[in-house]
């Protein structure tokens, strides 16, 4: 059995650290899958998945909605239970042979991230179509796919693949409001041992890009500046970092 290349997932992206907001339903579903696989059938919370023609869950949403975080969380929980699984970032493997997907139907859970990376690639689309068919036939595992847009709205060329993916359960991830964005930032700051004042947090949210990937990248830079200047993250420090970013937009 050929498995994808080993990957290291972020340790802090778990179900515990996931701020669900309006995405509690899908977070609960995935938590149940990770908690009960491979014997998930018959679980009341997973009745919709059990009744689906294909045991497949689609996570749809633009960058920063938490798709990858949820996939990581599933994998971390499965790993803690020593349940075989696979996480494949299609963006990282699209340059490799589609045989990366061979035999994955034998695993209890398979997570595929960034579906859009392979859309329009005939060989990869065919390989994914075949994998979904094998998963459907064996009824052993669950396939979880993350993508920025739904299969029907994507650039998928193979009509049968679009149809197969659409047959799964689909969840459109909702963005977090400012209060929950602040909660995420505060949590990440604490995990890193950073002191982030309420005033600095509010300034950061009101004067920078509001999507979570940009906010997390800014937090990384603030961490570095705080170390360099040997100062806590204050409003003044945030202003200096944002000013530096404005002066060097491509750095």
Q: Phi-psi bin for 94: left (phi > 0), alpha (psi -120 to 50), beta?
A: alpha
Mean pLDDT of the chain: 91
User: What residue spans define the domains of the chain?
Assistant: 21-172, 178-247
The H or E element that residue 117 is part of is none
Task: Decide yes or no: CATH 3.90.226.10 for domain 21-172.
Answer: no
Span 28-32, average pLDDT: 98
The residue written with tokens 């179509």 in the block is 129
pLDDT tens for 202-250 read: 999 999 888 888 888 899 999 999 889 888 899 999 999 998 876 555 4
Fold of 178-247: Helicase, Ruva Protein; domain 3 (1.10.8)
Question: Of the given ranges (8-12, 54-58, 201-205, 247-251), which has the lowest mean pLDDT?
Answer: 247-251
pLDDT above 90 as % of the chain: 74
| Degrees to nearest 5, angle at CA 189 with 70 and 228 | 130
Confidence of residue 173 (pLDDT cuts 50, 70, 90): very high
pLDDT tens for 37-49 read: 999 999 999 999 9
Q: What radius of gyration, in Å, describes the C-alpha atoms of the chain?
A: 20
């Amino acid at each position: 059995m050929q498995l994808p290349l080993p990957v290291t997932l972020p340790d802090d992206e778990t179900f515990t650290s996931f701020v669900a907001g309006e995405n509690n339903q899908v977070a609960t579903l995935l938590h149940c899958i990770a908690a009960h696989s491979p014997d998930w059938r018959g679980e009341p919370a997973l009745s919709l998945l059990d009744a689906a023609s294909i045991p497949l869950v689609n996570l749809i949403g633009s960058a920063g909605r938490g798709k990858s975080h949820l996939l990581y969380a599933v994998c971390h929980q499965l790993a803690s239970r020593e349940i075989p699984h696979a996480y494949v970032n299609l963006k990282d493997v699209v340059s490799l042979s589609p045989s990366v997907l061979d035999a994955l139907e034998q695993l209890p859970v398979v997570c595929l991230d960034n579906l859009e990376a392979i859309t329009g690639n005939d060989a990869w689309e065919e390989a994914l179509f075949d994998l979904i068919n094998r998963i459907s036939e064996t009824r052993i595992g669950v396939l979880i796919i993350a993508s920025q847009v739904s299969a029907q709205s994507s650039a998928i060329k193979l009509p049968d693949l679009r149809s197969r993916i659409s047959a799964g359960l689909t969840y459109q991830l909702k963005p977090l409001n400012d209060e929950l964005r602040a909660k995420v930032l505060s949590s990440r700051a604490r995990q890193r041992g950073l002191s982030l004042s309420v005033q600095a947090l509010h300034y950061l949210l009101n004067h920078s890009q509001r999507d979570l990937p940009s906010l997390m990248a800014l937090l990384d830079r603030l961490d570095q500046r705080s170390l360099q200047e040997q100062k806590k993250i204050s409003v003044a420090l945030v202003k200096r970092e944002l000013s530096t970013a404005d002066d060097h937009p491509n750095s």
